[in-house]
Structure 1
Amino acid sequence: MASSDTVLIGSASEIRSLQRKTCDVNGRKITVFHYEGKFYALDFHCYHSGGPLDAGDIEDINGVACIICPWHKYKISLQTGEGYYQAIDPKHLRKPPSWKSK
């Protein structure tokens, strides 16, 4: 299937109502999320250890909407798929950790 082909997974109103819907698209399991008026599509499985992202909570991490993997609490941006973690500066241990992108 060409990348320009459209795959219908449900109506916008259905996904808005459910807030997330998981489906198989050309052999790839994805989850479509509706959060704060926008739609996002991510792989169903967390890239860390395969956790089911459709079972995760959505949280704001430093201004970024992230799905939290229910297995190991990985934080993944809904918009970009980037992972976020709290980094400690080893040269300034008294400084509080700050959010960084993997």
Structure 2
Amino acid sequence: MEDAPAVWVANAADLDEEGSRLHLQVKDRYITLLRHKNFLYCFDSVCFHAGGPLGVGDIEEVANHACIKCPWHNYLITLETGEKLYQGVQMKDGKMVPGKWQSVGQKQRTHVVVERADGIFVQLKQDGKVESDEYAFKRECAQMMIASGSTGKY
């Protein structure tokens, strides 16, 4: 399936502060725009795992990746690629100890976001199948983001 054309979603001033985020519905898909360390990221708002409110999760730095943490099950999803990260374990001196951080691959769909003088634009990615596609269009799953008050439809 071809990617959707880019659409205007916000003024730059709507996301000019570190940590600011918007929860939007674009072409019936619920997405979150988030500013972290002066970069804008866009991803499906609803968690791939069980329809949780991923878009309202805390941001954590894990193994040199900016991640959003699902408030329901503590899953860590990279903002850049939508990969789910987990910390492996290893045996050391006969005991299980934390090991390296690893990826199980992309689970959350990310989208292209561009900030220009005339606003912020999003191009929805639609190639292939990503697990978050199952929940991305379900209003009942997006209710926590909608309740936050920073939601619009484009």
TM-score (norm: length of structure 2):
0.59
Q: How does 1:1-102 map to 2 (within 5 A)?
A: 3=3, 5-17=5-17, 19-89=20-90, 93-102=95-104
| Whole-angstrom distance in 2 between the partners of 1:25 and 1:97 | 39
Query: Counterpart of 2:14 in structure 1: which amino acid?
Result: E
Query: Counterpart of 2:41 in structure 1: which amino acid?
Result: Y
Query: Counterpart of 2:12 in structure 1: which amino acid?
Result: A
Deviates more, 1:13-22 or 1:68-77: 13-22
Query: Counterpart of 2:90 in structure 1: which amino acid?
Result: D
CA RMSD, 1 decimal: 2.0
Query: Counterpart of 1:3 in structure 2: which amino acid?
Result: D
1:96–1:53: structure 2 CA closer, same or farther, 3 Å change rule?
closer
1:48–1:4: structure 2 CA closer, same or farther, 3 Å change rule?
closer
Asked whether the 8 Å contact 2:78–2:85 carries over to 1, the reply is yes
Unaligned runs of 5+ in 2: 105-154
Query: Counterpart of 2:79 in structure 1: which amino acid?
Result: L
Q: 3-state SS of the aligned residue for 1:67?
A: strand
Query: Counterpart of 2:39 in structure 1: which amino acid?
Result: K
Per the TM alignment, residue 89 of structure 1 is displaced from its structure 2 partner at its CA by 3.3
Query: Can you list the C-alpha shifts for 1:29-83, whole angstroms capped at 9, x where unaligned?
Result: 0001110010110000111111112210000001100000000000000000000
Unaligned runs of 5+ in 1: none
Structure with bigger strand share is 2
| Whole-angstrom distance in 2 between the partners of 1:95 and 1:55 | 31
